[in-house]
Amino acid sequence: MSVTREYGAVTREILDELLSALGKNRVLSDHDGMEPYSWDETGKNFAVLPEVVVKPGNTEDVRAVMRIAQKHRIPVTASAARSGVAGGAIPLRRGIVLTTEKMNRILEVDPVNRTATVEPGVITNDLCKVAAEKGYLYAGSPMSTFTSTVGGNVATNAGGAKGIRYGSTRAHVLGLEVVLPGGDVLSLGGKIRKGTWGYDLKDLVVGSEGTLGIVTKIVVNLEPMPGRTADLLVPFRTIGEAVAATSKILALGVSLLSCEYLDQPSVLLTSRYVKYVYPFQDEAEAFLLIQVEGKDEETLERDCDKVGNLCYDEGAIEVFVADNRSDSADIWSVRQNYAEALRVKDPYFVSGDVLLPLSRVPDMVRSIEETAKKYELECVVCGHIGEGNMHPDIFKPDQMELREWESYSEAFFADLIRHAVDMGGIGSGEHGVGFVKKPFLTETKGEVEIGLMRRIKQAFDPDWILNPGKIVDS
């Protein structure tokens, strides 16, 4: 049973404590300064204005903030790029927003241990670039590589196009420094890749969305750069053909780095935004974007032929192989700019995220179509289809008020999540739970499991001041 908790308010005295600890340039308390921190990509209609925003520059600053917050029972919501779409960065109980945007240093690239140590505010693409300059690949990057931070990726266990080969963020996090309420610091893991040394608290923190502690340092694994690669764009007349081809491509035994899915409406919309037209985009219902790796040119050509011939056998209209880096960038631009294109069309669009066994993806695609018709909504779909991770995105009807849209979109996704769970899936593969999906998490998990999650939260955060209202209630 949930407990209603009382939290302290940020008084003048508490504000002075924060100013003394951080300095005036690191504390915002005016409306205009705080407004951007009141919402994330879930939408401005969910905005909640914090009482104060703090910008720590290092671990000791974070410890000071957490001591003050614990002493006065002030809620603390961690924030960085605010690119999440489940409301994880929205300060539901107001209080303190702690943004890690100033903690944005790449502290070390260690070639011996193949690791990088970074602060949570590092933009993902900056880490990718530095790693590449040193001859390595940071493979834990999501599709939002230019806008997301590494700390945000850790918070939601974000995935991306290369997840089919390398896994999501958790697979790449080797170590974490975490500040708890009261200012205690945990050092979890390190530059090691295995271990049986007690409960793995590091993996528990990854994906906890700032509800267990404030991450202040991250040690990530670096992969060797892949060999030669080729990008294939494959249009199909029907969605069913594209999904059927995917399962057979995965069984071919070739080295795949990516296998992405875009339906026709999403391609038509995004191609206008990036000003690059996919071939057959007026005829094809679905597109696969496939990246193949080969140790040498001969192997790459052979494996591309295998994938291409299989796609033809499964009904592909054509198989286009990018001949150079420019063509590859153009092909990928449609997938990489997908979210931005949707936002230009409708700033109130709502993004979904369901994860299914691959065998049930065709059923899920049909369920998305049927549910969109039931709710009379315009819907586009993309996804990391090789992992069974599909992203249905819906647009607000022109005449619908924002308050009604909030509940209407929640009802739509509630139906989809229930369908996903019935098919052996879950309600989020990478976007997280936040508060948007919290009711469905509680609904679809047993009371024993929810009870264990509450007790874990209690152990880390006894006063429930960290990101209250997210994932589970007290």
Q: Which domains does the chain have, with CATH numbers?
A: 12-101 (3.30.43.10), 106-224 (3.30.465.10), 228-339 (3.30.70.2190), 346-434 (3.30.70.2740)
Name which of 388, 289, 390, 296 is nearest 330 in CA terms.
289
- Output the CA torsion sign for 245, 248, 249, 250: positive
Q: Are 177 and 190 within 8 A, CB to CB?
A: no
Q: How far apart are CA 370 and CA 31, in angstroms?
A: 43
Beta bridge partners of 53: 28, 97
Mean pLDDT of the chain: 93
Ranges of the chain with pLDDT below 50? 1
Given this model, what pLDDT does residue 406 score?
87
Distance CA 8, CA 6 (A): 7
Asked if residues 105 and 85 have their Cβ atoms less than 8 Å apart, the reply is no
Give the pLDDT confidence score for residue 107 in this predicted structure. 98
How far lies 355's CA from each of 157, 200, 240, 367, 383, in Å?
14, 24, 18, 13, 10
Q: How many residues does the chain have?
A: 474
Question: Alpha-carbon distance 298 to 110, whole Å?
Answer: 33
Backbone angles phi, psi at 356, to 5 degrees: -130, 155
Given this model, what pLDDT does residue 10 score?
96
Is the CB of residue 288 less than 8 Å from the CB of residue 317?
no
**Closest to 66 (Cα-Cα) out of 463, 432, 470, 473:** 463
* Cβ atoms 331, 322 nearer than 8 A: yes
Distance CA 428, CA 156 (A): 10
User: pLDDT at position 164, please?
Assistant: 84
- Amino acid 3: pLDDT: 63
| pLDDT for res 2 | 57
pTM of the model: 0.91
How far is residue 348's CA from residue 368's CA, in Å, rounded to a whole number?
Answer: 19
Phi and psi, residue 451, nearest 5°: -60, -40
